[in-house]
Chain A
Amino acid sequence: MNWEFIFKDGLIAGIQGIPVSLFVTFVSMLIALPLSFLCAMGRFKRVPVLSQLITVIGSFLRGTPLVVQLFIVYSGFPSLLNVLVQRNGWDFDPFGISPYVFAFVVFSLNVLGTLTEVFRSSLSAVGKEQTEAALSVGLNHFQTNCLIVIPQALVSAIPNICNEFLNLFKSTSLVYMMTIQDILGKVRLVAAEGYDYTEAYVVIAVIYFVLGFTMEKLFQRMEGNLKTYKAAPQV
């Protein structure tokens, strides 16, 4: 074991990569959250056509490996675009698109597939009687959803959102394949000099664990704050 690498070069490189990993994670999540909620509402309300479309796309996104999705978008999409560019004579270089754009597209779509199901199941977990009660006191459907159904659904979705968030955070380590220098990319880069790959992956594992553990705790605290109405002891 090259301890010096672990505690010095490797660790420093890894820490430098943290902002990149977090950036990709947060942006993808922020794109996916509202979209998947809308998709879930579409499924929940059984909006015709839209609902079926979401189901099929969702199954595809959940049923194909992330690496495959990544390569389809990263290498397939620019080539496809290039054909169009050449045919129409546009002044645009499809191979110059930032890999971050592809990362955001792939990861947010991938999370969208699972988060839609998370939101849909938590929406349907809110009892029908909650809606009926709200209607019976004179609320319309929009008010009922905004004030009663959605707030309850969101709270019960938090643990699953946390899971998805952690999964996404870990998955973003694949961005090194698109030349983005995240935690994994940076550490591997410095490891190449002395061939310290074993050490490199130990460093990477530790960094991911510390960050992942912190996120989990933060989510738990948030859930605790939001679900006071459930955790309350019987009197």
Chain B
Amino acid sequence: MIAVKNIKKSFGSNQVLKGIDLSLEKGDVVVILGPSGSGKTTILRCINFLERADEGQLTIGDMQVDLKHASSREILKLRKRTGFVFQNYALFANKTALQNVMLGLTVARKMPKAQAEKIAKAALDRVGLSERYDYYPSQLSGGQQQRVGIARAVALNPDVILFDEPTSALDPELIGEVLGVMKQLAHEGVTMIVVTHEMSFARDVATNVIFMDGGVIVEQGKPEEIFDNPKEERTRQFLKRILLEDEAESQIAQAREKAREAQQIS
């Protein structure tokens, strides 16, 4: 079980998180929605200690720590039980895809190389990159890089994987392959917390949806409840805006497609 209690975090005088509680069971997929600046990403970064929270408790399995006062040893131990997928992929630029995935196993977990390689290859196979073991990040497309990023987290077999807007930096036509991999992982029972703007993913995959705004959880529930029957006005407005944006985007995409066709004909 993973639980965070009462996380608070300020950057200067700006309080980004005003006391957030969150808990999930093994196999759960929690999707966090909300306008930008609402603190979604900060929650994930605090759980992984990339940002030091001002207050709060974190429980992962049998480990419980104070987010503010955790020692560096506790942090190291907790990080080994969580995986993180970054918005900008953040693959190690000087390592191949396979080395990217292996590093956490061989260096952080002192696993023998042969065993690590086997696990890393399996993880890359799982995200459909069997042909790309020895490619450097600069040789891969954005979608492929993000899938390596996911494989890097999956290979560590963590209690939970934190996804920080994993598709936001991708070209629209590459989003599908990454979401596909994430859906497959969810079906295989991987526990995840996902910050995203992909409504279809939230609707289809999430066991629980959280809507955040202004550093607090405004509403949470099953995806059907949130999407079809939101109780709060702020949630309704946000969903409406996102749906409009999605629609506008697909219209632009269609228009672009048409223009391209017209160009080809002429």
Contact = CB atoms under 8 A, between A and B. Distances in A.
Decide whether A and B are members of one complex.
yes
Interface of A: 127, 129-130, 132-140, 143, 147-148, 151-152, 155, 228-230, 232-235
B109 interface: yes
B196 interface: no
B92 A130 contact: yes
B93 interface: yes
Interface string B79-106: 1101110101011111110000001100
A135 B90 CA distance: 11
Contact of A143 (B107, B135, B140): B107
Interface in B153-208: 153, 156
B237 interface: no
A136 B100 CA distance: 12
A234 to B, nearest CB: 7
23 contacts: A130-B90, A133-B86, A133-B152, A134-B92, A135-B49, A136-B79, A136-B83, A138-B76, A138-B79, A138-B108, A138-B109, A139-B104, A139-B107, A143-B108, A148-B92, A151-B94, A155-B94, A229-B93, A229-B136, A230-B93, A234-B141, A235-B135, A235-B139
Given A147-B103, A233-B139, 18 more contacts: A130-B92, A136-B50, A137-B103, A137-B152, A138-B80, A138-B108, A138-B156, A139-B103, A139-B107, A140-B108, A143-B107, A151-B94, A152-B94, A229-B136, A230-B93, A234-B141, A235-B139, A235-B141
Interface residues of B, number: 34
B136 A129 contact: no
A135 B50 contact: yes
Nearest to B101: A137
Interface in B31-78: 48-50, 72, 76
A148 to B, nearest CB: 6
A136 B80 CA distance: 8
B48 A136 contact: yes
Contacts of A151: 94
Contacts of A232: 135-136, 138-139
A78 B163 CA distance: 65
A235 to B, nearest CB: 5
B79 A235 contact: no
Contacts of B76: 138, 140
Contacts of B92: 130, 133-134, 148
A235 B107 CA distance: 29
B172 to A, nearest CB: 19
The 8 A-B pairs of least Cβ separation, nearest first, read: A137-B104, A138-B108, A136-B84, A129-B90, A133-B90, A229-B136, A138-B80, A232-B139
A152 B94 CA distance: 7
A230 B104 CA distance: 22
Interface string B128-142: 000000011111110
A155 B94 CA distance: 10
Contacts of B137: 229
A152 B104 contact: no
B156 A234 contact: no
B255 to A, nearest CB: 28
Contacts of B91: 133
